Amino acid sequence: MAETTVPLLDASGQWTHRDRHRHHEFAIDVPERTVELRARLSWDPLDMGSEHEANSLALTLWGPDGFRGGAVRRGDANDLVIGESAAKPGGLPGPIQAGRWVLNIDTGLILPDGAEAGYLSWRLEASAVVGDRTAVVEATSTSAARRPEPGGPRWYRGDLHSHTTHSDGEISVEDRVRGAVMRGLDFLAITDHNTISHHAELDGWPDGISPIRASEITTFHGHMNVFGLATAIDWRGDRRGSGPAAIVEQAHRQHALVSINHPSAFGDPWCVGCHWDFARADYATIDAMEVWNGRWAIPETDNQGGLALWTDLLDAGFRLTAVSGTDSHSAEEDAYVALPMTYVHAADRSEASILDGIRLGHVFVSSGPLLSFRARGSDGREVSLPGDSMGAGGRVDLVVDVERLEEPATIWFVTPGSTVPLGAGDGGQIHVTSDGLNANGWWRLEVRAGSAANGDMLALANPVYASAG
């Protein structure tokens, strides 16, 4: 029997700078026997001066059962196609219920023009393909969390931040996984913006690399990676004046972790919401912070600023785990040298074990050098994993080893109010023994290039908490 296409919506208009940072919702009534839904958002102008000065909108689709797809792409048009058994990347395939659905446009950037009268013409179209139902294909179950993984307790390394064609990346999931295997990663989180459609491609990865289910929750006031999520998160309650509590709550309800991304990066108009701007956030509820995004010394990312914010939070008594991510969007970006990897000490390579390791702070981040230590507190207790605790306050005897150093570097001992060098080397390895260090609340290790305390970061360990408990 023939299929017919039924128009559902054809809306257009103009928005100005004042309409930015809003969620504009358009209801559509989806008819019975719909086998495919199509929506397309286009706008003009796009280019307002440069690659990083462009008007930016994103389209998402919400059905009676919740999130059904996101088109968060670069360019001057975003389109979504979802069918019962297939969807354009970004969308979730599955049965299409008749009834009220919502198309949402996030207006990320509508830039003022030279006359201070920024405007943007937009058009949103939607249609349904109605016909006989094809056999409903069961949604692919993502069994990543339960897949038994070999390994045993040791350090596992991976990338916790990457993008594909399911949002604004230029690389397929398959090619991204192949590249990760070639780089020797044990785990990989694909964190496409405001979707989980890439989760359907998590089965069938090669042995040796574990998928971490993840999504970069991308709001106007901050970006957060959520790790270990099974269902999509609704970010549309974001308000600058409030915290991200509603997002954190949705993540924790499904035992997923929340990590603040690149908190000191340039925000609008360079990158929508990339700077962490939530005026109130309950940091006791945030699990991690990405203190190293991409290459260390990129001014627009300001990793040093992110590290300073994280250190302030440690001083205030919060225990967010420092993590890293490449934030790679392409094969070309994968090839950059000195990208950070996140090393997690875990019981095995499964998603559940990797996330437990992150929860415990058993993490160091590094662009290559391997960092290990043995510490003994004044109460005689020994600690050899970041994130663990030793006796309250007092003095620390420390043995530190750094291997696979490819350039002259210095090991720094950082504790509230002081940063002291422990030792240096010209490459290869450094072995340092240091007795009677003063630790105050927490201490941690950094390995930086050269001899200055602000040299490029090569490796950074999470703190040992030298406090009661």
**Residue with Cβ nearer Zn ion (288 or 402):** 288
**Residue with Cβ nearer Zn ion (73 or 349):** 73
Please report how close the Cβ of residue 274 comes to Zn ion at its closest, in angstroms: 5
Please report how close the Cβ of residue 216 comes to Zn ion at its closest, in angstroms: 5
**Residue with Cβ nearer Zn ion (149 or 216):** 216
* 354 within 8 A of 320, measured Cβ to Cβ: no
Token pair in block for residue 393:
């306050």
Please report how close the Cβ of residue 272 comes to Zn ion at its closest, in angstroms: 9
Please report how close the Cβ of residue 25 comes to Zn ion at its closest, in angstroms: 24
**Residue with Cβ nearer Zn ion (327 or 333):** 327
In three-state secondary structure terms, 153 is coil
**Residue with Cβ nearer Zn ion (333 or 446):** 333
| Residue 305, CA distances (Å) to 25, 86, 293, 311 in order | 36, 43, 11, 10
Residue 26's Cβ-count burial label (10 Å; 0-12, 13-18, 19+) is middle
The helices-and-strands tally (H runs, E runs) of the chain is 5, 29
| Residue 255, CA distances (Å) to 109, 277, 398 in order | 33, 25, 35
| Residue 203, CA distances (Å) to 148, 187, 232 in order | 13, 14, 18
User: How long is the chain?
Assistant: 469
Closest residue to Zn ion, based on beta-carbon distance: 223
What is the 3-state composition of the chain as percent helix, strand, coil, each rounded to the nearest 5? 10, 45, 45
Please report how close the Cβ of residue 328 comes to Zn ion at its closest, in angstroms: 9
Which among 205, 137, 135 has a CA at the least distance from the CA of 351?
205
Please report how close the Cβ of residue 31 comes to Zn ion at its closest, in angstroms: 37
**Residue with Cβ nearer Zn ion (118 or 306):** 306
Please report how close the Cβ of residue 218 comes to Zn ion at its closest, in angstroms: 6
Please report how close the Cβ of residue 191 comes to Zn ion at its closest, in angstroms: 6
Q: Residues interacting with Zn ion, by CB under 5 A?
A: 216, 223, 261, 327
**Residue with Cβ nearer Zn ion (30 or 188):** 188
Per residue, the 3-state secondary structure of 90-144, as one string, reads CECCCCCCCEEEEEEEEEEECCCCCCCCCEEEEEEEEEEEECCCCCCCCCCCCCC
In sequence order, the 6+-apart residues with CB closer than 8 A to the CB of 44 are 76, 120, 121, 122
**Residue with Cβ nearer Zn ion (129 or 331):** 331
